[in-house]
């Protein structure tokens, strides 16, 4: 993937980085052939113009780069974010806490942090610089902080041209830029025979509940390579590199107030192919939404109550005991409890209402296993029986470590799964979108009821792929390829 640095003036980038070309903004805007000398639609454009003001040269560089199918940094959305007056509102809680910790020892009320390709000259600020760069991916910038009511806030974010940096910083910028362009698994090193680039987001520290194990991740990479796609496994620290890729595949447990959602939202807003998309994450990660939506569309679900403080007294009367109480954003059986009595119910309600004003209560349907139907692009992909963990009422026994934590898994061809289970799963998943979903269905007394629709479902080596083997990974990658081809075709029309 060719790399191009665009500046307002040729002298604004006095650095020599191997494999990186330079062009002035006017030439880039007015001579598309000169800007695309490599003939590649996937050129990465680093916009280092002196101003990103609306309708300035810098603004148009990012705008036209996107129109040409190039990959600009910053993109137009980031350019708009930089102009937001209340920029502090764009800072998520975890990064804000990092700001407070890093700047706590400062005695002044003002501080400026320079961030060059995600790094700062002072080692102690390097982690903070990386996270700020991930939020606002601009190659060279300054963050102006001020302290108000004993808390540090970002007052202003300034993009910086190469000509504006102090002479004493230039060696560090050269080192940072070189490291950024040619560091670990940089796309400069990806095979140029590949048609597309795919990022696979994982969390190396997410051991027990990871959606895919390392063997499955490697099979995704292999399946992508066989279809002409360069796939790279990335982590949350690689957010600033996201726009190097054509697509994003999230293989980390998702949540709304979480970096997985921010990855998905940014990828979708920048026109990338992303599974799971932010809308699917929003819908699937909230059980209150699912209960309301599935009921409205007449999908058979357990008898359910959306619970608030004013109707909580009806739970025992309508559902009886035992019943199931769920936090809206529970996953992997965390935040889901079986309640056996009024006393237990009161204890859990007090705890759960501390986190959410709305909860879900459902009738308890004891079964030895749940059907898990994998749905991809509005078609069934795989079918499994997830058996309950030994001596437990759920498929995961969270308090158990090692042996006995999970129930066994049986995978069978979709054609051999009960047609009513597959039909119910398809109807439920298609209400969410056209991504990759795992629909849990219980079979009880002849009923097939949908328990929930999961975004980002488990795909582990030796389990969900037990029937289709490598074909399972190929089918998933194939959906990415078709969607990336469709997006590229839009740029190539005419």
User: Is 436 within a domain?
Assistant: no
Domain limit, last residue, from 325, 341, 364: 364
Q: Is 169 found in the same domain as 32?
A: yes
Helices (H), 31-167: 32-35, 57-67, 76-82, 93-103, 126-135
Q: Report residue 158's pLDDT band, with 50, 70 and 90 as the boundaries.
A: confident
The count of other CB atoms within 10 Å of the CB of residue 112 is 11
Domain around 16: 1-188
Residue 243 has a pLDDT of 81
Domain harbouring 354, CATH code: 3.30.1490.20
pLDDT in tens, 278-293: 999 999 999 999 999 9
Q: Is residue 293 part of a domain?
A: no
Q: What does DSSP assign to residue 388? A: P
State whether 206 and 351 are in the same domain: no
Q: How far apart are CA 115 and CA 120, in angstroms?
A: 5
* 167 and 231 housed in the same domain: no
Residues 347-374 pLDDT 10s:
999 999 998 999 999 999 999 999 999 9
Tell me the C-alpha distance between 335 and 316, whole Å.
Answer: 19
Q: What is the pLDDT of residue 415?
A: 97
Give the span between the Cα atoms of 416 and 400, in whole angstroms.
Answer: 32
Beta carbons within 10 angstroms of residue 271's beta carbon? 17
pLDDT at 467 over 50: yes
Q: How confident is the model at residue 229 (pLDDT cuts 50, 70, 90)?
A: very high
Q: Are residues 50 and 178 in the same domain?
A: yes
Q: Give 136's contacts (C-beta < 8 A, 6+ positions apart).
A: 74, 78, 81, 82, 157
| pLDDT at position 477 | 98
Q: Measure the CA angle with vertex 355, ends 353 and 361; round to 5°.
A: 50
In a domain, 400, yes or no: no
Say if residue 203 is in the same domain as residue 165. Answer: no
Residue 44 lies in a domain: yes
Same domain, 183 and 194: no
User: In this structure, are residues 277 and 229 in contact, taking their beta carbons and an 8 Å threshold?
Assistant: no
Q: Which of 65, 46, 62 is nearest to 54 (CA)?
A: 62
pLDDT digits (tens, 9 = 90+) for 189-202: 454 568 899 999 99
- pLDDT of 132 above 50: yes
Q: Are both 178 and 29 inside the same structural domain?
A: yes
Total domains, the chain: 3
Closest CA to 407 of 398, 418, 419: 398
Q: Are residues 223 and 175 in the same domain?
A: no
Examine the domain organization and report whether 184 and 194 are in the same domain. no
Average pLDDT over residues 311-333: 90
Same domain, 131 and 157: yes
Please state whether 446 falls in left (phi above 0), alpha (psi between -120 and 50) or beta: left
Confidence of residue 169 (pLDDT cuts 50, 70, 90): very high
pLDDT tens for 28-58 read: 998 877 666 544 556 889 999 888 888 888 8
- Residues 257, 308 within the same domain: no
Q: Are residues 49 and 176 in the same domain?
A: yes
The answer for residues whose C-beta is within 8 angstroms of residue 184's C-beta and 6 or more apart is none
Per-residue pLDDT tens digits for 376-421: 999 999 999 999 999 999 888 877 777 788 899 999 999 999 999 9
Q: Of 188, 208, 231, at which residue does a domain stop?
A: 188
> If you average pLDDT over residues 179-184, what whole number do you get?
69
pLDDT band at 244 (very low <50, low <70, confident <90, very high): confident
- Residue 252 maps to which CATH number? 3.40.50.2300
463 in a structural domain: no
Task: Please report whether residue 79 resides in a domain.
Answer: yes
Mean pLDDT, the chain, rounded, equals 89
Can you give the pTM of this predicted structure?
Answer: 0.77
């Amino acid at each position: 993937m060719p790399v191009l640095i665009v500046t307002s003036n040729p002298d604004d980038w006095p650095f020599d980085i191997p494999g990186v070309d330079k062009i002035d903004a006017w030439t880039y805007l007015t001579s598309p052939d000169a800007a695309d000398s490599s003939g590649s639609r996937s050129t990465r454009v680093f916009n280092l113009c002196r101003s990103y003001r609306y309708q300035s040269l810098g603004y148009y560089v990012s705008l036209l780069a996107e129109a040409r199918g190039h990959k600009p940094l910053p993109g137009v959305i980031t350019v708009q974010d930089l102009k937001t007056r209340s920029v502090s509102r764009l800072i998520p809680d975890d990064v804000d806490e990092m700001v407070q910790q890093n700047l706590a020892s400062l005695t002044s009320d003002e501080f400026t942090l320079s961030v060059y390709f995600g790094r700062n000259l002072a080692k102690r600020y390097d982690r903070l610089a990386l996270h700020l760069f991930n939020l606002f991916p601009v190659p060279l910038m300054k963050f102006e902080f001020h302290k108000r009511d004993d808390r540090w806030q970002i007052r202003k974010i300034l993009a910086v041209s190469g000509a504006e940096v102090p002479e004493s910083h230039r060696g560090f910028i050269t080192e940072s830029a070189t490291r950024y362009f040619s560091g670990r698994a940089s796309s400069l090193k990806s095979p140029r025979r590949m048609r597309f680039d795919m990022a696979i987001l994982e969390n190396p520290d997410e051991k027990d509940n990871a959606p895919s194990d390392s063997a499955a991740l490697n099979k995704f990479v292999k399946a992508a390579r066989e279809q002409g796609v360069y796939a790279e496994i990335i982590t949350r620290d690689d957010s600033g590199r996201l726009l190097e890729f054509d697509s994003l595949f999230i293989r980390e447990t998702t949540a709304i107030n979480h970096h997985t959602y921010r990855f998905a939202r940014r990828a979708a807003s920048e026109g990338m192919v992303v599974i799971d998309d932010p809308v699917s994450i929003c819908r699937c990660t909230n059980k209150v939404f699912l209960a309301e939506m599935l009921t409205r569309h007449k999908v058979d679900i357990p008898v359910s109550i959306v619970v608030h403080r004013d109707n909580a007294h009806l739970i025992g009367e309508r559902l009886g005991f035992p019943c199931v109480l769920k936090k809206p954003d529970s996953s992997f059986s965390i935040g889901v409890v079986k309640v056996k009595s009024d006393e237990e119910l009161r204890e859990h309600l007090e705890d759960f209402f501390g986190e959410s004003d709305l909860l879900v209560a459902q009738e308890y349907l004891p079964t030895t296993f749940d059907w898990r139907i994998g749905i991809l692009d509005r078609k069934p992909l795989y079918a499994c029986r997830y058996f309950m963990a030994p001596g437990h009422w759920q498929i995961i026994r969270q308090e158990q470590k090692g042996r006995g934590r999970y129930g066994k898994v049986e995978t069978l061809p979709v054609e051999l799964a009960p047609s009513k289970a597959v039909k119910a799963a398809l109807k439920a998943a298609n209400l969410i979108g056209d991504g990759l979903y795992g629909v849990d269905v219980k079979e009880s007394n002849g009923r097939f009821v949908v328990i929930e629709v999961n975004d980002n479902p488990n795909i582990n080596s030796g389990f969900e792929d037990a029937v289709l083997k490598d074909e399972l990974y190929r089918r998933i990658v194939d959906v990415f390829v078709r969607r990336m081809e469709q997006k590229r075709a839009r740029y190539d029309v005419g």
